[in-house]
A and B are shown apart, each in its own frame.
Chain A
Amino acid sequence: MTKHFGSRKALSGVDLALPEGSSLGLLGPNGAGKTTLLRLILGHASPSEGQVQLQGMSPFEPESRVGVGYLPERVLLPGRVRIGSFLRLHARLAGLDSEAVEPEVNRVTELTGISSRLEEPIATLSKGLAQRVGFAQAFLGDPRVLLLDEPSSGLDPIGMREVRDWISAARERGCSVLLSSHLLSEVERVCDRVAILHEGHVIDQGETEKVVRAGETLEDAFVRLVQTGTKNSGELDRA
Chain B
Amino acid sequence: MTASVFFLLVLESLQDAARRRIVPAILVLCFLTLVSINSCTTCNAEITTNNLQAPPVDIFGWVGVSVLGVLAVWSLILAGMLASDHLSASLEDGSGLLILTRPVSRKQFALARLFGTLLITWSAVIVMMGGASFMLSLRGDLSLWPALIALAATLVNCVSIAGLAMFISLFLPRIVTFLCVVGFVGWTAIANLMSASGMTLGLWSDVLDRFGPPILSSVIIPLAAWSGQAIESVSVTEIVFRLGLWLFASLSSLLFFFAQQELSRFEAR
A78 at the interface (CB under 8 A from B): yes
| Chain A positions within 8 Å of B95 at CB level | 76-78, 81
Task: Tell yes or no: A63 within 8 A of B by CB.
Answer: yes
Contact A76 B103 (CB under 8 A): no
Question: B-side interface residues toward A, CB under 8 Å?
Answer: 1, 4-5, 8-9, 12, 15-16, 19-20, 90, 93-95, 97-105, 108, 259, 262-264, 267
Which of B9, B103, B108 is close to A65, meaning CB atoms less than 8 Å apart?
B103
A74 proximity list for chain B (CB < 8 A): 94
Give the complex CA separation of A90 and B5 in angstroms: 10
Interface check A62, CB cutoff 8 A: yes
Indicate if the CB atoms of B98 and A90 lie closer than 8 Å.
yes
CA of A72 to CA of B9 in the docked complex: distance in angstroms?
Answer: 21
Instruction: Give Cα A78 to B93, complex, Å.
Output: 6
- CB interface residues, A 74-106, toward B, < 8 Å: 74-81, 85, 89-90, 92-95
Whether A236 is near chain B, meaning CB under 8 Å from some CB there, is no
A44 touches B97 (CB 8 A): yes
Task: Confirm or deny: A26 has a beta carbon within 8 angstroms of a beta carbon on chain B.
Answer: no
Provide the residues of chain A in CB contact with B267, threshold 8 Å: 76
A45 to chain B, nearest CB (A): 5
Q: Is A39 an interface residue, CB under 8 A from the partner?
A: yes
Q: How far is the CB of B18 from chain A (nearest CB, A)?
A: 10
Q: Known: A62-B104, A89-B12, A92-B5. Is A72-B99 also a contact (CB below 8 A)? A: no
A interface residues with partner B (beta carbon < 8 Å) = 36, 39, 42-46, 60, 62-63, 65-66, 68, 70, 72, 74-81, 85, 89-90, 92-95, 137
Tell me, rounded to whole Å, the shortest Cβ–Cβ distance linking A36 to chain B. 7
| Chain A interface mostly | loop
State how many angstroms separate the Cβ of B251 from the closest Cβ of chain A.
19
Residues of B within 8 A of A90 (CB): 98-99, 102
Known contacts A76-B94, A78-B16, A78-B93, A94 near B102 by CB under 8 Å = yes
Interface centre among B9, B97, B103, by most chain A C-beta atoms within 10 angstroms, is B103
| List of 4 A-B pairs having minimum Cβ-Cβ separation, nearest first | A76-B94, A78-B95, A93-B102, A44-B263
Q: Which of A44, A66, A90 has the most CB of B within 10 A?
A: A44
Would you give the shortest CB distance from B205 to chain A, in whole angstroms? 39
A80 to B12, CA, bound (A): 12
In the bound complex, do residue B97 and residue A68 qualify as a contact, i.e. CB atoms below 8 Å apart? no
* Assembled-state Cα–Cα distance A63/B262 (Å): 19
Contact A45 B103 (CB under 8 A): no
Contact A66 B8 (CB under 8 A): no
Query: Complex Cα distance A77/B95, Å?
Result: 6
List residues of chain A with CB within 8 A of the CB of B1: 62
A46-B262, A81-B19 known; A65 and B102 CB under 8 Å? yes
* Assembled-state Cα–Cα distance A93/B97 (Å): 13
Contacts of A66 in B (CB 8 A): 103
Give B217 Cβ to nearest chain A Cβ, in Å. 40
Interface centre among B15, B90, B102 (most CB of A within 10 A): B102
> Given the complex of chains A and B, what is the CA–CA distance between A159 and B99 in angstroms?
25
B104 / chain A contacts, CB cutoff of 8 Å: 62, 65, 93
B262 & A45 in contact (Cβ 8 Å cutoff):
yes
